[in-house]
Amino acid sequence: MTHNGPGRSHDIAHLAHVELLTPHPEESLHFFTEVMGLTISGREGDSVYLRGWDDYEYHTLKLTAAKTNGMRHFAFRANNPEALERRVSALKAQGLGIGWNDGDQGHGPAYAFHTPDGHPGELYYETRWYQPDEQTRPALKNQASRFPGRGANLRRIDHLNLLASRIAPVREFFVDTLGALLSEQIVFDDGSEKGAWFSVNNKSYDLAVTEDHAGRRGRLHHLTYAVDSREDVLRAADICLEHGVHIETGPHKHAVQQTFFLYLYEPGGNRFEIANAGARLILAPDWETVVWTETERRKGQAWGLQTIQSFHTHGTPDTPEGTS
Amino acid sequence: MTHNGPGRSHDIAHLAHVELLTPHPEESLHFFTEVMGLTISGREGDSVYLRGWDDYEYHTLKLTAAKTNGMRHFAFRANNPEALERRVSALKAQGLGIGWNDGDQGHGPAYAFHTPDGHPGELYYETRWYQPDEQTRPALKNQASRFPGRGANLRRIDHLNLLASRIAPVREFFVDTLGALLSEQIVFDDGSEKGAWFSVNNKSYDLAVTEDHAGRRGRLHHLTYAVDSREDVLRAADICLEHGVHIETGPHKHAVQQTFFLYLYEPGGNRFEIANAGARLILAPDWETVVWTETERRKGQAWGLQTIQSFHTHGTPDTPEGTS
Amino acid sequence: MTHNGPGRSHDIAHLAHVELLTPHPEESLHFFTEVMGLTISGREGDSVYLRGWDDYEYHTLKLTAAKTNGMRHFAFRANNPEALERRVSALKAQGLGIGWNDGDQGHGPAYAFHTPDGHPGELYYETRWYQPDEQTRPALKNQASRFPGRGANLRRIDHLNLLASRIAPVREFFVDTLGALLSEQIVFDDGSEKGAWFSVNNKSYDLAVTEDHAGRRGRLHHLTYAVDSREDVLRAADICLEHGVHIETGPHKHAVQQTFFLYLYEPGGNRFEIANAGARLILAPDWETVVWTETERRKGQAWGLQTIQSFHTHGTPDTPEGTS
Amino acid sequence: MTHNGPGRSHDIAHLAHVELLTPHPEESLHFFTEVMGLTISGREGDSVYLRGWDDYEYHTLKLTAAKTNGMRHFAFRANNPEALERRVSALKAQGLGIGWNDGDQGHGPAYAFHTPDGHPGELYYETRWYQPDEQTRPALKNQASRFPGRGANLRRIDHLNLLASRIAPVREFFVDTLGALLSEQIVFDDGSEKGAWFSVNNKSYDLAVTEDHAGRRGRLHHLTYAVDSREDVLRAADICLEHGVHIETGPHKHAVQQTFFLYLYEPGGNRFEIANAGARLILAPDWETVVWTETERRKGQAWGLQTIQSFHTHGTPDTPEGTS
């Protein structure tokens, strides 16, 4: 199994997509297309497939009408077929595998699994590159599709943040079973882990896990898309203000990972983040995990903003446990 | 050997540093520290070791006083010791290896080689992480050193552009011998290659090779450092204007790679670029090389600026061949 | 009459609007609404009334279908009724007055005049403040209307640039007859004036006059709208590229007035500029005119870009003299 | 006397400078020069004269060593000598005049007065334009001095915010006695005024008065300098973080005036703001005062940040009343 430093795996290429559930599908779709600037690739049943203008795959967001909010699944793309096989074997060995399915509109066969905290995930390699049409063909051929000039103009899926009842098993899972790098983490004075950030490529993280203060298992904290600059995040806040979108907190700069963030609730109640990390990359192959202490975290965010209370409690589904 | 698509190597981690020669060492050092905002890590003999505030290694620029300008060597860091061994074997097999040396202030043993066009390069794994002192200790511990608030505040070494008498052999070398991805290239109607861009990680390029219209071998086109935003590049142009720095062309946006660029001549005569590529990354493991045609390149840069003539002819050393 | 320094008039409040002629009204309207992000306030006959999201008046652009391109008229708003009367008297005294008309959808009675070079202008005081509707009501009540989140999101009319066969008479007219401040000008070594920039408030200019190298009278050089930041100008260039808009030159920074510019041809053939001047204001009541010499202008724009040839020759109407 | 709308006075040109007191003069000077990027024009006795790179006058900040913090005086520059006389007469008529003094290093004779709440002010017309030296001469002659490339690179004095025991008398004073425009104000449901913002030119405010919850008279809330863009404010926050500067709140966007703000305490304890208002200007001569209600203010700042408690209580001098 793989740890930080020499030997880190490159089996997983990147976070690929998330399937988000919404009890208000029309309002959620309007939010993602008109306010956020995503583009529709296709529809099927209760689902709409969406992507940012720089996402190279057919979709990075699958928006599905449902009775509750929350996440139906997330997916990583493997770097090649052999890497996929290696990780499927590891999942099976851990008893976390569910099995193969035929894939979806946007990709080929996928292997389903769940994290130790119960979050449903998938791994696949065969994908469908997005093919622009007349409306979305870019002027420069090295770009996935046309810059939309609409709303917040979200560029690309960036990362996913899961809530977990316990961090350590999920942290071990991503590092040992999936071969991710643990780039940063929060460990309190009593040794309890409060959060962990994982990278599978040169981005400083593609996935994070933070503690669910409600003690529930397998919930979603938020999904994040990236824009080009901090000014783009500020402009997105202006646009959200005009559209009456609920802004939970931000824009501000995290101390952890230094992400410049804006947290929203989309109409379905799922937390959604618009972020920019400047040119931040982890290029060092022997990066040492940055461990934040309890004292350091008490200082709040980078410029002193205190973390809002709902940040530790609001997750989706936000229905009482056992319902839906 | 490795080509694009499944199987791409991860043996090379990133461009590590460049040793630049300058016949005007004091003026060049003033340019890099006061105008560009780099910080000095150390000195030895005729050389000064420099880095940007986000460079994790001891140095990314070695500035060496010499009779001519140009590049004495460039270096890549390998991903781990085994990867280094694999690439050294490949270099030897191609007859391009020179041999091991003891390293330098900033890193351990290095294997020297030259490209088919004669550019001197090195590969190493063991490195020296930069250790901040009282003046350079950052407020946030996940940052390599303090943001300087000085001049152009260059963040990090970004890429190197070599001039070559012939592109194809150099292109084959970086792809086959070093395992890089060919992310973009220019091929004219008669089949002649005019430029090639290589990536060894998720950046869309770390190294480029373009044709030397003077027909000379082994010269430097430019070295580039990155800043966080396009506004940072514009601000750098303002600062260069105030300091009388020679601006060759820009700021503008390249069509190739979409880099937002500013080209300068540092006081020693070497071309130097300040660049921003937004959030541009190559995350797809099966990225297909973008091939630009002669017709496409005749349109100029992204927004129509025509490429300045000196861009094809000025390289360093710029002394007449055979001198120095 | 009023010159720079103590005693400068405040009779004119600001540039109010421009009526632009286009032989391609549908394409021009698409350009201004979908690509530039202006909003329609109303229509009448062959005209559409448009404004930026921060323009407080009913319209700042009147787009009128016609056989040729060019400008049918421009208008200043006076600071109060007495100021209007004073300037009308001055116009009459100079023999440049045409007479009163009933106004237009966006304002009350206007006094028509022409500059010494023949540009048709109007002065008025009574106006119609824009009243937002459900679609355009802003979230913050101190804002004229909702930020559109569409295309280049142009904020506000900024300035107008006239071409003139001779600069001096027009310069004298704006300073002496209308009471403007001459903030900057270009005077060549032989004493010939090449351009003049005028301010009627704290903006560093609202109107400019530059020499028509074709020697024609009364033509339009360009109309300009402002955005908030230089990054907004760059983003506008990205959007223009996607829409196939003709970019004449830029983005770059003028030496004169330090405006960060992007020059386009709208589909009707009129030159149009998107600009940002940062926080640049003229607050000094005794501002001395900055006079640029021939030598200084030969250096090109601020960062060295040479002025494109068409900049001195393309004006509208661009039909051969005497036609249309 | 002058109210909003037709007839608004142009007697006052702009906020000219503020004399700030500091019990930690060395630390305060380091803050303003190295962290904020102001430049020293001269020294005299316990005072240092400072300015931003775009301030045209000799100084906009006079930093004076003292036993307490707070503001010794603020000054407006009149538009011309006659305007100065008119306003001095008005001050005398209100019984708020103190008398003429000989001026200071940076300007000629000044008339001293105090606001109804006791803030000491001055009016003058004759000034000393800043003359750049070898170190501060700009590349472009239409700029007051060289862009420093140091710290936060503050551009220009922007506005002053006074605390007052009662708002109404101060509001009447600035509108009626000094001829300012009341651009925005806060009036609670019980009719009590909580704040007022005044403009004497096209900036949307040069001076503000907010309620001192401590009930004290004549204190300073904060002094503000402007930078070019919101990104510049964010970068200033990064720089303050590196230097251990106390950040009280922000960066965020005010609902009132839409200013993008960052509030700091300089080492002497005075609150200091770095701000950007985009291209926001009041160009309408008949601007109607925007009146914010109690309900509207309860929503917090533009994007939802709640106003920090210290914002209503911290003022300088912050020594107990009667001391110093």
What are the chain C neighbours of B230 within 8 Å (beta carbons)?
A: 230-231, 234
CATH class (in words) of the domain with range C12-128+153-313: alpha beta
Going by pLDDT thresholds of 50, 70 and 90, the confidence category of residue A323 is: low
- Banded model confidence at residue D323, pLDDT cuts 50, 70, 90: low
- Considering only CA atoms, give the Rg of chain A: 19
What tens digit of pLDDT does each residue of C230-248 get? Answer: 999 999 999 999 999 999 9
pLDDT tier at C319, thresholds 50, 70, 90: confident
Both structure tokens of D180:
């300012």
Q: Which residues contact A124 (CB under 8 A, 6 or more apart)?
A: A16, A75, A77, A78, A84, A103, A107, A108, A109, A110, A111
Which residues, in sequence order, are bridge partners of residue A303? none
Which residues from B are below 8 Å from C238, CB to CB? 253
Residues of B in contact with D152 (CB under 8 A): 149
Contact D220, D29 (CB under 8 A): no
Q: Which residues of D, range 207-226, sit inside 8 Å of C by Cβ? A: 226
**Choices 3.10.180.10, 3.30.450.40, 3.40.309.10, 3.40.50.720: CATH for B12-129+153-313:** 3.10.180.10
- Output the pLDDT for position C322: 57
* Cis bond upstream, residue D138 (ω within 30): no
Give the number of residues written for chain A.
324
Residue A1 has pLDDT above 50, yes or no: no
Residue C7's pLDDT band, with cuts at 50, 70 and 90, is very low
- Residues from chain D contacting residue B239 (CB–CB below 8 Å): 147, 149
Residue pair D201/D287 in contact by the 8 Å Cβ criterion: no
Give me the pLDDT at residue B307, please: 87
**Which range is least confidently modeled, A298-307, C13-22, C182-191?**
A298-307
- Å from B231 to nearest chain C CA? 6
Contact (Cβ atoms closer than 8 angstroms) between residue D213 and residue D314: no
Q: Indicate which of A142, A230, A238 best probes the interface with C, i.e. most C CBs within 10 Å of its own CB.
A: A238
Is D322's pLDDT higher than 90?
A: no
Nearest chain A residue to C33 by CA: give it: A149
User: In angstroms, what separates the C-alpha of B166 from chain A's closest C-alpha?
Assistant: 24
Q: Look at residue C274 and tell me whether its pLDDT is greater than 70.
A: yes
Classify burial at C72, counting beta carbons within 10 Å of its beta carbon; exposed 0-12, middle 13-18, buried 19 or more. Answer: middle
**Tell me, what's the pLDDT at B323?**
55
Site of tokens 């420093």: D148
Query: How far apart are the two ends of chain C, measured CA to CA in Å?
Result: 38
* pLDDT bucket at C9, cuts 50 / 70 / 90: confident
Q: Which residues of A touch D249 (CB under 8 A)?
A: 304
* Residue D95: partners with Cβ closer than 8 Å, 6 or more residues away: none
State the nearest Cα–Cα gap between D55 and chain B, in angstroms. 17
pLDDT (mean) for D223-239: 97
How large a percentage of chain D has pLDDT more than 90?
92
Average pLDDT over residues D143-157: 98
Q: What is the pLDDT of residue A295?
A: 96
Query: Rounded to the nearest 5 degrees, what angle is found at the Cα of D161, between the Cα atoms of D160 and D166?
Result: 140
Residue C85: exposure state from Cβ atoms within 10 A (0-12, 13-18, ≥19): middle
Q: Which of residues 253-312 of A touch D (CB under 8 A)?
A: 253, 260, 302-304
Q: How many CB pairs under 8 A join C and D?
A: 107
Summarised one tens digit per residue, pLDDT across range A33-80 is: 999 999 999 999 999 999 999 999 999 999 999 999 999 999 999 999
Q: Strand ranges (DSSP E) for B137-219?
A: 156-164, 181-187, 193-199, 207-211
Flag if C201 and D258 touch (Cβ within 8 Å).
no
- Residue C214 CA to residue A188 CA, distance in Å, equals 75
For residue C95, what are its two tokens?
């023999």
**What pLDDT is stored for residue B322 in this prediction?**
57
Domain boundaries, chain D: 12-313
C-alpha D165: how far from its chain's center?
18
- Residues of chain A contacting residue C274, judged by C-beta atoms under 8 Å apart: none
CB contact under 8 A, B230 and C234: yes
- In chain B, what percentage of residues exceed pLDDT 70? 96
β-strands D70-78, D120-124 pairing: parallel
Per-residue pLDDT at D277: 83
Minimal CA separation from C190 to chain D, in Å: 21
Indicate yes or no: CB of C147 within 8 angstroms of CB of A242.
Answer: yes
- Residue numbers of D between 224 and 243 with CB closer than 8 Å to A: 229-231, 234, 237-238, 240-241
Contact assignment for C230 to B234 by CB distance below 8 Å? yes
At residue C2 the predicted structure's pLDDT band, cuts being 50, 70 and 90, is: very low
According to the model, what pLDDT value does residue A77 have?
Answer: 98
Instruction: State residue B277's pLDDT score.
Output: 84
**Lowest-pLDDT range, B201-210, D153-162, D303-312?**
D303-312
φ, ψ for residue A240, nearest 5 deg = -60, -40
pLDDT digits (tens, 9 = 90+) for D267-321: 999 999 999 987 899 999 999 999 999 999 999 999 999 988 899 889 999 988 6
User: Which one of D138, D146, D239 has the shortest CB-CB distance to B149?
Assistant: D239
Whole-number average pLDDT of chain A: 95
B260 torsion bin: left (phi>0), alpha (psi -120 to 50), beta (else) = beta
C252, C280, C303, C305: best to mutate for the B interface, most B CBs within 10 A: C303
Nearest neighbour of D156 by CB, restricted to C256, C279, C302: C279
Q: What pLDDT digit, counting tens, does each position of A91-113 carry?
A: 999 999 999 999 999 999 999 99
Per-residue confidence band for B308, with pLDDT thresholds at 50, 70 and 90: confident
As a whole number of angstroms, the distance between CA A167 and CA A211 comes to 6
Provide the pLDDT for residue B3. 37
Chain A partners within 8 Å of D304 (Cβ): 247, 249
How many B/C residue pairs have CB atoms within 8 Å?
A: 40
Over residues A120-128, mean pLDDT: 98
In eight-state DSSP terms, residue B280 is: -
Please report residues of D whose CB lies closer than 8 A to that of A234: 230, 253, 260
Q: Which residue has the higher pLDDT, A1 or D234?
A: D234
Domain A12-129+154-313: CATH superfamily, name plus number: 2,3-Dihydroxybiphenyl 1,2-Dioxygenase, domain 1 (3.10.180.10)
Determine the residue among B227, B234, B264 to mutate to test chain C binding: the one whose Cβ has the most chain C Cβ atoms within 10 Å: B234
> C80, C123, C140: best mutation site toward chain D, by most D Cβ within 10 Å?
C140
Mind listing the pLDDT tens digit for each residue in A284-296?
Answer: 999 999 999 999 9
Per-residue model confidence as pLDDT tens digits over A5-23: 434 678 999 999 999 999 9
∠ CA D161-D166-D168, rounded to 5°: 90
A220-276 pLDDT, tens digit each: 999 999 999 999 999 999 999 999 999 999 999 999 999 999 999 999 999 999 999
Tens of pLDDT, residue by residue over C49-83, are 999 999 999 999 999 999 999 999 999 999 999 99
Spatial CB neighbours of C128, under 8 Å, sequence gap ≥ 6: C57, C58, C105, C106, C107
What pTM was computed for the model?
0.97
Residues with Cβ < 8 Å from A263, sequence gap 6 or more? A222, A247, A248, A249, A250, A271, A272, A273, A311
Q: For A283, which of B13, B141, B231 is closest by C-beta distance? A: B13
CB contact under 8 A, B258 and A143: yes
The pLDDT value given to residue D319: 83
Mean predicted confidence (pLDDT) in D47-67? 98
Residue C118 gets the label, from left (phi > 0), alpha (psi -120 to 50) or beta, of: left
From C120, C88, C127, select the one nearest C104 (Cα to Cα).
Answer: C127
Q: To the nearest whole percent, how much of chain C has pLDDT over 90?
A: 92
**Within the 42-71 window of chain B, which residues sit less than 8 Å (CB to CB) from chain A?**
54, 56-57
Homologous superfamily in CATH for domain D12-313: 2,3-Dihydroxybiphenyl 1,2-Dioxygenase, domain 1 (3.10.180.10)
Rounded mean pLDDT, A184-192 = 97
- Mean pLDDT rounded to a whole number for chain B: 95
Distance from CA of D292 to the nearest CA of A (A): 17
Q: Given C231, C249, C250, which is nearest B230 (Cβ)?
A: C231
Asked whether C229 and A231 are in contact (CB, 8 A), the reply is yes
Chains sharing 3 or more CB pairs under 8 A with chain D: A, B, C
